[in-house]
Amino acid sequence: MSYNSLREVIEIVGRELDEMRKSEPLEIRKMRTGTLENQAGTNGQYFTTWDFANGMIRDHSMYTWYHLVGLAENEDFSLKQLCHLIDTFDHPYSNYLRYSGFPRLGELALAVRKHLPNAASRAEAIEAVRIFCAYTNQLAAWSFHYFEWEQGERYKYADIQPVAPVQPDLSRRVHIRDGRKIKMTWEPLGISVDAYLAVNENPELCEDLIEALPFAIIQDHAVVSGESMYAWAPVVSTAPVHVKERQCDAPQGRIRYSQGTGNKIIVQYGDVTEDIATPVLGEIVPEHVDRLAEVGRQVLESTFDTKKLIWLKVELA
């Protein structure tokens, strides 16, 4: 398929992104059901193809295109320099992903790279990079949800330690002053909570989220750090972050926002062992925190077993 201009590419990516936010894209379905036309995968199996592609789409969105957004917004880089960097960093990912299950992604990435040097303005170039980053984020969300995480049950630690490897330091816990209130609802569970956004602590970050409300996104469970859930938001935020908190220090009901790993809203409902500090987005009101255990249990089951879709709806309260 040929494209006449960067504007046309932006509009096509935008339309396909809107559809992806509502339902699973065909590329993901073909990959997880073993119906790829080119049957990529040694010895007649496709798990390794899926495994490679799942990891690469994650890195492509989080650690490549998100940072390219930052460079696009940095006036110190000329459009020519930006295009060179995108050619350098995108091609190894999108070309391999094109082969291993994401042919449409490969085609659109090539179209963006081809037409970006002829952008009508710097603003249009930024728009193109932002929307393609959002597109890769959404593909990563669906890929994460359907990946066979239950394979992890075969790889259990022989001696599970009852004590967390990193001890929480409650003196470092962030306390949110009352701010803008939102409502979070998990469907079809029918469970809702109210929460305060950290509008005093991270005002620009919260404003990016507020501008996108309301929205509904797929809820998944963390697979490394503990009792935590996350969902890819329909936002690409490069807002400055003033307040972070180590995850192990955070209370039940903490809401975080990870710009650098796909623009995810993260809800902590229990113990988390990870000591990485992440931006504070808000916290669920104390009287609703006890509702999170049931949500966490069902989301854990969805991510690791049933793949049942659980949608998180976020709106102003």
> For the whole model, what pTM was predicted?
0.95
Three-state SS annotation for 244-297: EEEHHHCCCCEEEEECCCCCEEEEEEEEECCCCEEEEEEEECHHHHHHHHHHHH
pLDDT at 165: 64
pLDDT at 2: 86
pLDDT in tens, 264-293: 999 999 999 889 999 999 999 999 999 999
pLDDT at 159: 81
What 3-state DSSP class applies to 9? helix
pLDDT at 177: 77
**Phi then psi for 239, rounded to 5 degrees?**
-65, 150
**Phi then psi for 242, rounded to 5 degrees?**
-100, -30
Gap between the Cα atoms of 247 and 316, Å rounded: 25
| CA separation, residue 165 to residues 24, 168, 169, 170, 284 (Å) | 37, 10, 13, 16, 26
Which DSSP string do the residues of 26-65 spell out, in sequence order? Answer: HHHHHHHHT--TT--SGGG--HHHHHHHHHHHHHIIIIII
Side chain identity at 2, as an amino acid letter?
S
pLDDT at 9: 98
What 3-state DSSP class applies to 181? strand
* pLDDT < 50 positions in the chain: none
